[in-house]
Structure 1
């Protein structure tokens, strides 16, 4: 388990949500860590575009691939919530 404190930004017009890292374990490795979720297409059939912006604190730090499963899980939960609200 890890701790991650973030600030969430919503852009409803463009259907984009950003999770900007503020504190926690991930911030020990990265100066910047932002997960970006962009929901594209129709409400009932769309695509979620995911990206992670990051800046390493040190060149030896690996890319944050270990967080991809968490990002994917978040999209699955958002999808289920959107379908339910549909």
Structure 2
């Protein structure tokens, strides 16, 4: 089994693609209000919300365990409604040499697809594939979708 991998998921949401993308690219600090059981807080460390290169720290909970992640938002692409988060510190980097999340929101008629991609490199072959992390992202996305539809 290789150390480098990629996991992907696609989910159909009801919210408009622009609003969903804006939440993850420009207002991720609001996600803690939307999904407080999963995301406790998101703090800005450098830069400005919504611009490429800003640095944020997430406090989140998976399966009852608290975690911290510091990320640089490498790419915020409004035209393709894509955002790339590269982990630079935090709990996941104790298991993975590198960890990147790409979230792309794709409008298709009246529907919106969200394409989630995790790219990672394990520190060793005994590290699990980050399936729980992908499931977590999908659940957070569902919470954001529910919030945006009700707003």
**Which has the higher relative contact order, 1 or 2, with Cα contacts under 8 A spaced 6 or more apart?**
2
Report the count of equivalent residues.
85
Distance (Å, rounded) in 2 between the aligned partners of 1:7 and 1:82: 25
C-alpha contact 1:19 1:34 (8 A) present in aligned 2: yes
Residue 60 of structure 1 deviates from its aligned partner by 1.2
Residue 43 to residue 37, structure 1, CA distance change in 2 (3 Å)? farther
The higher radius of gyration belongs to 2
Does residue 18 (structure 1) correspond to residue 84 (structure 2)? The answer is yes
Q: Following TM superposition, where does structure 1 have runs of at least 4 consecutive aligned residues deviating by more than 6 angstroms?
A: none
Equivalences for 1:1-86 in 2 at 5 Å?
1-8=66-73, 9-42=75-108, 45-80=111-146, 83=149
Structure 2 stretches lacking a partner, 5+ long: 1-65
Q: What's the TM-score, normalizing by structure 2?
A: 0.49
For structure 1, which runs of at least 5 residues remain unmatched after alignment? none
**SS of the counterpart of 2:94?**
helix
What RMSD over aligned residues (CA atoms) do the two structures have, in Å?
Answer: 2.1
Q: 1:25 to 1:67 in 2, by over 3 A?
A: same
Could you tell me how far 1:83 is from its partner in structure 2? Answer: 4.5
